[in-house]
């Protein structure tokens, strides 16, 4: 992979301009911009079924089921601001939102599903609440995995309710917000994960880490994190301290493959390292994506270098 330079340090922003930036970032936690479902499995010639199922609290979720001739199922979700299809970051307004952090490439998750299907896995993927085509919930608040955990549990219940998937060997492949949601789901309902074989967790993150870095990148400064926290709390009724963070990895008891961009401009390595240390399992792997500072390269890592994760799934889903 060609190394990408870190985002340049911006000029310091203060006064009314800084207040406007803080307001805009806080608004992204309430009724967030939805990334459209621009791509489908049909683009890669994959047969698929449009599915809908309820979250654990009844919120309607939309997704795809991609069948394969096997008894193995991988259930996938997505990062904050994305959908099950990914995010068209080369288009506006996403390019302007994420460009300052160096993330200016499209993330299309359809190749991920094709790779899994070709390897013999059934695939279930879905939009989390308030994203993609799934319903709005909780006043449109994004809760960093706290309420989205109910979507993870809903996906498991749905897989166990289908006659064609109920007896399959299952794994979760959870990305960013989706991984945080999985940690929170294991905290709230650990029995829901009985019988699952393993977890692949892509770039979970603590709000205080990613928001602190974002404030640095946009020139407001990490010292305004408490002001952002107050705005987010007023908009969602939840402070950063109320939300899943690195310490919630201690609720994970499944074998876990954790991976992330080491020099991610939006995070810090210690956040992932804390999660890895906290995972309550001896069967765990930490893989760093190196040679880049773009977080989006972490989301694209599986389709670029699928072999390690495919080997992990093979080891844990083959009985």
| pLDDT exceeds 90 at position 134 | yes
Q: Tell me, what's the pLDDT at 271?
A: 98
Q: What is the pLDDT at residue 219?
A: 95
How far apart, in whole angstroms, are the C-alpha atoms of residue 248 and residue 195?
Answer: 21
pLDDT tens figures, 54-80: 999 999 999 999 999 999 999 999 999
Q: Between these two residues, 159 and 32, which has the higher pLDDT value?
A: 159
Q: What is the model's pLDDT at position 9?
A: 52
The per-residue pLDDT for range 95-117, each reduced to its tens digit, is 999 999 999 999 999 999 999 99
- The reported pLDDT for the residue numbered 1 is 46
For residue 6, pLDDT beyond 50: no
Q: What is the mean pLDDT of the chain?
A: 96
Are residues 308 and 277 in contact, defined by beta-carbon separation less than 8 angstroms? no
Residue from 35, 133, 138 nearest 86 by CA: 35
Q: pLDDT for 171-216, tens place per residue? A: 999 999 999 999 999 999 999 999 999 999 999 999 999 999 999 9
**pLDDT value, residue 247:** 98
Q: What pLDDT, on a 0 to 100 scale, did the predictor assign at position 4?
A: 45
Question: What is the full DSSP assignment across 222-275?
Answer: GGGHHHHHHHHHHHHS--GGGS--GGGGGG--S-EEEEEETT-TTS-HHHHHHH
Is the CB of residue 94 less than 8 Å from the CB of residue 283?
Answer: no
pLDDT at 256: 98
Domains present along the chain, CATH in parentheses: 15-317 (3.40.50.1820)
Q: What angle do CA 261, 251, 180 make, to 5 degrees?
A: 40
In this predicted structure, what is the pLDDT of residue 319? 74
Task: Identify the pLDDT of residue 3.
Answer: 42
Give percent of the chain with pLDDT exceeding 90: 94
Per the rule left: phi > 0, alpha: psi between -120 and 50, beta: everything else, 81 is left
Tell which residue, 153, 168, 154, 162, has the closest CA to residue 73: 168
Task: State the helix-helix crossing angle for 225-236 and 15-27, rounded to 10 degrees.
Answer: 40
pLDDT for residue 11 is more than 70:
no
Q: Are 124 and 159 in contact (CB under 8 A)?
A: yes
Q: How much is the pLDDT for 315?
A: 98
pLDDT at 31: 86
Residue 225 near residue 282, CB atoms below 8 Å: no
What is the token pair recorded at 220?
A: 């407001």
- For residues 264 and 176, what is the distance between their CA atoms, to the nearest angstrom? 13
Residue 36 has pLDDT above 60, yes or no: yes
Q: What is the pTM of this model?
A: 0.95
């Amino acid at each position: 992979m060609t190394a990408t330079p870190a985002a340049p340090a911006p000029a310091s922003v203060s006064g009314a301009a800084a207040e406007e930036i803080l307001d805009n970032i806080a608004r992204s936690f309430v009724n967030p911009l939805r990334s459209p479902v621009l791509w489908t499995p049909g683009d890669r010639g994959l047969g698929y079924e449009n599915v809908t199922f309820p979250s654990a609290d009844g919120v309607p979720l939309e997704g795809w089921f991609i069948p394969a001739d096997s008894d193995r199922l991988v259930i996938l979700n997505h990062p904050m601001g994305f959908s099950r299809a990914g995010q068209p970051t080369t288009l506006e307004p996403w390019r302007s939102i994420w460009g300052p952090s160096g993330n200016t490439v499209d993330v299309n998750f359809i190749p991920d599903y094709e790779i899994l299907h070709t390897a013999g896995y059934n695939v279930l993927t879905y939009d989390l609440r308030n994203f993609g085509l799934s319903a709005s919930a909780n006043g449109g608040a994004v809760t960093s995995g706290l309420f989205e955990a109910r979507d993870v549990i809903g996906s498991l219940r749905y897989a166990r309710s289908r006659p064609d998937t109920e007896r399959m060997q299952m794994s979760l492949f959870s990305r960013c917000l989706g991984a945080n949601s999985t940690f929170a789901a294991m905290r709230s309902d650990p029995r829901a994960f009985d019988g699952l074989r393993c977890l692949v967790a892509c770039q979970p993150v603590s709000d205080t880490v990613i928001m602190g870095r974002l404030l640095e990148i946009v020139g407001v400064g990490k010292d305004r994190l408490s002001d952002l926290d107050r705005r987010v709390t007023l908009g969602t009724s939840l402070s950063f301290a109320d939300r899943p963070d690195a310490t919630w990895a201690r609720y994970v008891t499944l074998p876990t493959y954790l991976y992330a961009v080491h020099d991610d401009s939006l995070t810090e390595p210690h956040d992932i390292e804390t999660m890895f240390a906290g995972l309550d399992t001896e069967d765990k792997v930490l893989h760093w994506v190196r040679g880049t500072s773009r977080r989006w390269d972490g989301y694209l890592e599986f389709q670029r270098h699928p072999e390690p994760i495919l080997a992990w799934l093979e080891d844990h889903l083959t009985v």
